């Protein structure tokens, strides 16, 4: 009986150590899909963040290629295209938008230049949020997609296209911009370029009552003789 008791105790300790080890491994990997804004900069203190004196509006861009941070929806997006000494732009990276006055983060950019990681990022967004609110473009040469979080507090803006380093083979690339919509200046600023169509829709929506979708807006514009909203949007077809 004594031997059995000791054996049970050893087994219990072993199970406890394994559990603690698994917990420790999980703690080392930060899943960006689970971030709630605003995020205290101090919560990322154990990761490597570089301040290269870059900024958008009053937000400092903090850069990281730390593998512990390069995860979204349980998928790693760490990687690099080209050789070790090729253009640094070929290395997958994340940027955090930090308000210097409050040291709170209100958004982040994930940039991937490797095809497998870019596809995983797109697949994760489709799994988490389903069909995008807007999907403009043809094929995957240059596409602009937008999702909202279920609580409507966070916007996910995905620019998807082709990329090459030093005129090398083209790879699929993704630029995911995740923004706290309460940071209205940053959110509005980010709705530029290929996302401008959605900004125009939001302006029109402010003047409407009741349900008014991007599809309604695109059809309305088409009736006015402006066909590119309807023609280029893949969620409508």
pLDDT reported for residue 98: 96
Dmax (CA) for the chain in angstroms is 88
Buried b (16+ CB within 10 A) or exposed e, 49-64: beeeeeeeeebbbbbb
Q: Is the pTM of this model over 0.75?
A: yes
Q: Please give the pLDDT value at position 63.
A: 94
Condensed to tens digits (0 to 9), the pLDDT of residues 96-136 reads 999 989 999 999 999 999 999 999 999 999 999 999 999 99
pLDDT for the residue 5: 58
Structure tokens, 105:
């983060």
Beta-carbon contacts of 83 under 8 Å, excluding residues fewer than 6 positions away, are none
Extents of the domains making up the chain: 1-29, 31-196
In angstroms, the CA 70 to CA 60 distance is 19
Residue 72 is predicted with a pLDDT of: 97
Q: For 182-204, write each residue's pLDDT tens digit.
A: 999 999 999 999 999 999 999 99
For the chain, which ranges sit under pLDDT 50?
A: 1-2, 17-28, 87
Place of tokens 């105790």: 9
Q: What's residue 20's pLDDT?
A: 44
Share of the chain above pLDDT 90, in %: 67
């Amino acid at each position: 009986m004594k031997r059995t008791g000791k054996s049970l105790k050893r087994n219990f300790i072993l199970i406890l150590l394994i559990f603690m080890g698994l917990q420790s491994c999980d703690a080392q990997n930060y899943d960006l899909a689970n971030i709630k804004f605003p995020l205290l900069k101090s919560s990322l203190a154990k990761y490597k963040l570089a301040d290269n004196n870059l900024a958008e509006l009053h937000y400092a861009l903090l850069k990281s290629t730390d593998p512990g941070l390069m995860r979204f929806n349980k998928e790693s997006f760490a990687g690099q295209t080209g050789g070790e000494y090729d253009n640094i732009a070929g290395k997958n990276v994340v940027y955090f938008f930090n308000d210097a006055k409050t040291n709170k983060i209100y958004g982040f950019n994930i940039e991937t230049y490797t095809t497998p990681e870019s596809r995983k990022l797109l697949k994760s967004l489709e799994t988490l949020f389903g069909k995008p609110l807007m999907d403009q473009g043809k094929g995957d040469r240059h596409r602009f997609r937008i999702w909202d979080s279920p609580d409507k507090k966070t916007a996910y803006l995905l620019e998807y296209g082709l990329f090459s380093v030093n005129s090398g083979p083209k790879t699929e690339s993704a630029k995911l911009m995740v923004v706290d919509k309460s940071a209205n200046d940053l959110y509005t600023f980010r709705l530029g370029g290929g996302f401008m169509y959605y900004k125009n829709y939001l302006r029109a929506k402010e003047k409407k009552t009741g349900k008014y979708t991007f599809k309604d807006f695109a059809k309305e514009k088409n009736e006015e003789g402006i066909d590119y909203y309807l023609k280029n949007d893949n969620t409508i077809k």
